[in-house]
Amino acid sequence: MKTTFLFIFLLFFAYVNSQNNLYWFKKDIENTFVKDSTKDKSYRSQMGATYYSISNNFKNALQSWDSFFGREKKYDEKLLLVFAKYKAKNAKKEILKRAEKEQIIILNEAHHNASHRNFATSLLEGLYKKGYRYLGVETLQQDDSLSIRKFAVQSSGFYSKEPQFGLFLKEALSLGFKVFPYESKGNGKEREIGQANNIFNFMNNNKNGKMLIFCGYEHAFEGIHPNWEKAMAERLKDLTGINPFTIDQTKYSEKSQEKFTEPLLKFVNKKYPTILIDNKGEIFNGDNKNFYTDAIIIGSYSTFKNGKPTWMLSKAKKYFLIPKIQNPTTALVLAYKEGEYKKDGIPEDITEIESWNDSNYLILGKGNYDIIYLDKDYKVVKSIKTKIK
């Protein structure tokens, strides 16, 4: 996506100006980015979406992104032919099945859509069982202590500050993946070349397993890019001689409004991400044969309960009712695994309390937690310890 060109500079600018407030109230994100009339609409849309996402406001992140980048999708009769030719299969199961014969899988995300990280996390255990041992992550900075510490911290990367991204890295490290950064300086072609070279160099020194690469948007695409000549995935193919299995999560994921949603997602309408496969075993990967991924994931519509998207739930996670406090009337409540808050770790969930008259929840797995309450000035007004059994 062309919009990613400006991301590095814009996010660095915001990062420098937000060191004291890593996780923000919705009103502060709105006032700082969304309503900043001195910046163009593209900037406001991207930055609003990114900070809503990092602060665990999934709906607002989608809305902010679509406020500029949303495009009304029109019905196309060709989609009926696609829908008739293919069957929707569970994307997780099909990817893990395909993983048996692959050496490199490249999976992308939209940086404002935390559900993409949640899906990536769901693949990790199955991939590890099939011999995948290395996870390359675009957002990471060099962090020599990551494999020892077993969790990301605020300085580990930018997007990894988001709770689902933190959980993604924590799950990978707990399973035994060696997690490595591969980001490169520059924009456009220079950046794609640098990313591919960094992955290739890592592979030459780490040959005891298969590789999962997690990236943003079009870095996962093969073929000819209109501006970069080749994206990272195609350049890595050239360097290694290995044809990676490339997967796009972005095109057919849910949007903030129905009018922005791809009709094919509406037709499929499953409660879980799917991949379309015909009776010959061929995977649907769109109409563009010049710039493409091997597979396209058809997303699902999020459902919400207790103010949270239900895709956050799993057999190992459940709702935790946040204990009420008298003051302040509004608060930002963050849940950290015990000891990680003091080490600048990533919260596992965040809930903004707008009223104590309502019941408010976090979604947490088993373990001991520090629950941190912040007031409107981002000062800690209370902290409690709790154990989830």
Count the neighbouring beta carbons within 10 Å of the beta carbon of residue 157.
Answer: 23
Q: What is the DSSP string of 333-361?
A: EEEEETTTTTTTB--SEEEEES-TTS--E
pLDDT > 90? residue 197: yes
Per-residue pLDDT band at 79 (split at 50, 70, 90): confident
Query: Would 77-296 and 316-388 be classified into the same CATH topology?
Result: no
Place of tokens 């695994």: 337
pTM for this structure? 0.94
CATH 3.40.50 for domain 77-296: yes
Domain boundaries along the sequence of the chain? 2-69, 77-296, 316-388
Question: 53 near 112, Cβ under 8 Å?
Answer: yes
What separation in angstroms does the CA of 313 have from each of 152, 221, 307, 326, 370?
Answer: 21, 30, 12, 29, 20
Q: What is the pLDDT of residues 301-335, one digit of tens each?
A: 999 999 999 999 998 999 999 999 988 889 999 99
Q: What is the pLDDT of residues 258-305, one digit of tens each?
A: 999 999 998 899 999 999 999 999 999 998 999 999 999 999 999 999
- Closest alpha carbon to 351 in 27, 57, 17: 57
What are 311's two structure tokens? Answer: 């895709």
**Separation between Cα atoms, residue 189 and residue 232, nearest integer Å:** 9
Q: Which of 20-34, 48-62, 375-389 has the lowest mean pLDDT?
A: 20-34
Q: What is the 8-class DSSP label of residue 253?
A: S
365: alpha, beta or left? (left if phi > 0; alpha if psi -120 to 50): beta
Nearest to 142 by CA among 196, 191, 179, 174: 179
pLDDT (average), residues 100-112: 98
- For helices 114-129 and 58-69, the axis angle rounded to 10 degrees is 110
DSSP letter assigned to residue 322 = P
Q: What is the CATH number of domain 316-388?
A: 2.60.40
Q: What is the pLDDT of residue 1?
A: 47
Q: How far apart are CA 334 and CA 283, in angstroms?
A: 41
Whether 346 and 384 have beta carbons less than 8 Å apart is answered as no
Our measurement of the distance from residue 49's CA atom to the centroid of its chain's CA atoms, rounded to an integer in Å, reads 12
The CA angle 182-170-232, to the nearest 5 degrees, is 20
Q: What is the pLDDT of residue 24?
A: 97
Q: Where are the beta strands (DSSP E) in the chain?
A: 87-90, 104-109, 132-137, 178-181, 210-216, 222-223, 245-248, 274-277, 291-292, 295-296, 304-305, 308-309, 317-321, 331-337, 349-353, 361-365, 367-374, 380-388
20 band by pLDDT with thresholds 50, 70 and 90 = low
Percentage of residues of the chain with pLDDT beyond 90: 87
